[in-house]
Amino acid sequence: MSKQKSALIIGASRGLGLAIVQELLERGWKVTGTVRDEKRTQVHALAEQHQEHLEIEHVDITETNQIAALKNRLSGRNFDLLFVNAGITNERYETIGEVSTEEFVHVMVTNSLSPMRVVEQFTENVRLGGTVGIMSSGQGSVADNEKGEFEVYRASKAALNMLMRSFAARRGKDYALLLLAPGWVKTDMGGSNAKFTIEEVIHDIVDTILAQEGGRGLQYLDRFGKTVRW
Ligand code: NDP
């Protein structure tokens, strides 16, 4: 029998992160899913049903001391997949003319700097040839920005894409690196007007993540595995 695959999913409490965890469990993976704090979330309920295969860890990715503490706790552990799902938006979608410096910095730090810090720290816990992915967005595409709305969020995902591209120049020869654009999905962030339900997209999302295994270098893909314009 082949060895059970293992994944570290950062930001698994709800929404797309939770769904990725659930889908991986259904596909026979062993999963470590992280939540931000002590409050009980939907992933805790899932862990009760999958005690052998789902473990819950804690990290707020904007806190470097928490990243370091998680790194210590997972020292010596090896994963086939690291996927950083955590992300936010500025809830009132202020334009650059309206947004406070504090809010702008908060979104940039959460969506750009922090996921990359996680990737920098935990890639060595991914076996060579494994996959290191981050949830980006089609809104991170500079080339496809015709409408200009959600400008703070867009800027944060574009910066994330650029940072991952620089990371790929350093480490892409050893890993399959992925920036994923999941589509507009009904979650707390996506809202109720979004085009797709989680159920409609999750198989394609996980198929595309898992299809990267054994590859090398960086891809920016939609959930069908089609390249997104940078
Ligand atoms: P949700 O708002 O439902 O979930 C966001 C997740 O990120 C939660 O698990 C949340 O944890 C976690 N998170 C936020 N900030 C931090 C932090 N500082 N440290 C650790 N975890 C954090 O959003 P979605 O499921 O929709 O979004 C998931 C990802 O997909 C995001 O990166 C988003 O940008 C991206 N995306 C979503 C789209 C959509 O249409 N829904 C479209 C394109 C991209 P907690 O519960 O503790 O808040």
Given a cut of 90, whether residue 91 has pLDDT beyond it is no
Question: Could you report the per-residue pLDDT of 92-122, keeping only the tens digit for each?
Answer: 889 999 999 999 999 999 999 999 999 999 9
Could you read off the pLDDT of 167-187 as tens digits, one per residue? 999 999 999 999 999 999 999
Looking at the predicted structure, is the pLDDT value of residue 2 above 80?
no
Strands of the sheet with 176-181, listed across from one edge: 54-58, 30-35, 6-10, 79-84, 126-135, 176-181, 217-222
Task: Residue 74: give its domain's CATH number.
Answer: 3.40.50.720
Nearest-CA residue for atom 3 of ligand 1: 15
Cα of 12 vs centre of ligand 1, distance in Å, is 8
| The predicted structure's pLDDT at residue 149 | 92
* 18-62 pLDDT per residue, tens: 999 999 999 999 999 999 988 999 999 999 999 999 999 999 999
ipTM here: 0.99
- Ligand 1 environment, Cβ below 6 A: 11, 13-17, 35-36, 60-62, 85-88, 110, 135, 137, 182, 184-185, 187-190, 194
Q: Into how many domains does the chain fold?
A: 1
Q: Which of 39, 85, 93 to mutate to test the pocket of ligand 1 (most atoms within 8 A of CB)?
A: 85
Closest ligand 1 atom number to CA of residue 61: 19
Which residue range is the domain that position 196 belongs to?
6-222
Q: Has residue 119 been placed in a domain?
A: yes
DSSP state at residue 123:
G
Residue 1 has pLDDT above 70, yes or no: no
Q: Which of 62, 139, 187, when mutated, tests ligand 1's pocket best, judged by the most ligand atoms within 8 Å of its CB?
A: 187
How many Å apart are CA 214 and CA 229, to the nearest integer? 23
CA distance 122 to 109: 18
Note whether residue 71 is domain-resident: yes
